[in-house]
Amino acid sequence: MNKYEEAFRNFEPDLQEETIRKRTNEILDKCKENNTPEVLKFLYSCIDLTSLNTEDNRESIWRFTETVNDFEGSRPDIPNVAAICVYPNFVSTVKEALTADVRIAAVAGGFPSSQTFFEVKIAEVSLAVTDGADEIDIVFNVGAFFEENWEEACREIEEIKAACREARLKVILETGLLKTASNIQKATILSMYSGADFIKTSTGKVYPGANPEAVYVICQTIKEYYRIHREKIGLKVSGGVRTAEDAVKYYTIVNEILGEEWLNPQLFRIGASSLATQLLERV
């Protein structure tokens, strides 16, 4: 038995899809009690406000950053978003324009497919961190995973983590491509053991985005990892989180499984672009 198979054995085996759906639905029955102004304000503070468009340019990203600057202090009852997330070539623009107390996140490592030379992935991450990125979002090597080449998938994360230096690393599983609970659990385990600070659901670019069942599996796996290693790994839900009701669903799952200790922007994020406006309209 190799070290990866041994790691898998520490977690709940034989995940049953029907059981997961049932448990998830039981949790989601509690959503209504969490759909309050206080929770919506908190969710705003957990947003990674994202612009990942083909037409992005220096001027549009500067204006995008200014909207975050303008919000700072305008609503004393609502903290600002957690981070601004952009392509790596715009990190320096955000760094120059940003005056708000908000972190800078960059997608890197061949986003959104992770299909490029490994050396290019390392270089892209290193350049983004040098330009001022506080957080790096990379895509898990799903191709290596499907080949059961755990060594390659983990080595990439480990070396990218080293290239991040002090920046925090989010690993995007692309749960809509992994599909099964077993695949999502294994990818979460490999990512955490390889140095991920956050597990992120999806890119939102090609495959289906986040869904409650996938988030349930990730949360249970993070919980078990914490039980074994006493290390808290964060969760970022992204891909299709567009409404306040969507956000409250994921808040409810995190609250029920991981508890209030995870309900802060250091450990819980939502990747979104349009969600922020809707949350503000509701509070």
Is 205 an annotated catalytic residue?
A: no
Q: At what angle do helices 37-45 and 275-282 cross, to 10 degrees?
A: 150
Please tell me the distance from the alpha carbon of residue 143 to that of residue 211, in angstroms, as a whole number. 22
Q: From the candidates 48, 131, 137, 246, which is the catalytic residue?
A: 137
Please check whether residue 175 is in contact with residue 191, taking contact to mean a CB–CB distance below 8 angstroms: no
Is 200 an annotated catalytic residue?
A: yes
Please tell me the distance from the alpha carbon of residue 80 to that of residue 43, in angstroms, as a whole number. 10
* Amino acid occupying residue 120: V
123, with CB counted inside 10 A (0-12, 13-18, 19+), is: middle
Please tell me the distance from the alpha carbon of residue 92 to that of residue 14, in angstroms, as a whole number. 46
Residue with token string 């690993």: 171
Closest CA to 171 of 186, 179, 182, 45: 186
44, with CB counted inside 10 A (0-12, 13-18, 19+), is: buried
Q: Give the CA diameter of the chain.
A: 57
Q: From the candidates 161, 170, 236, 249, which is the catalytic residue?
A: 236
Please check whether residue 215 is in contact with residue 178, taking contact to mean a CB–CB distance below 8 angstroms: no
Please check whether residue 197 is in contact with residue 233, taking contact to mean a CB–CB distance below 8 angstroms: yes
Please tell me the distance from the alpha carbon of residue 232 to that of residue 261, in angstroms, as a whole number. 9
**Residue 283 in 3-state DSSP?**
coil
Q: From the candidates 121, 161, 170, 200, which is the catalytic residue?
A: 200
Catalytic residue list: 137, 200, 236
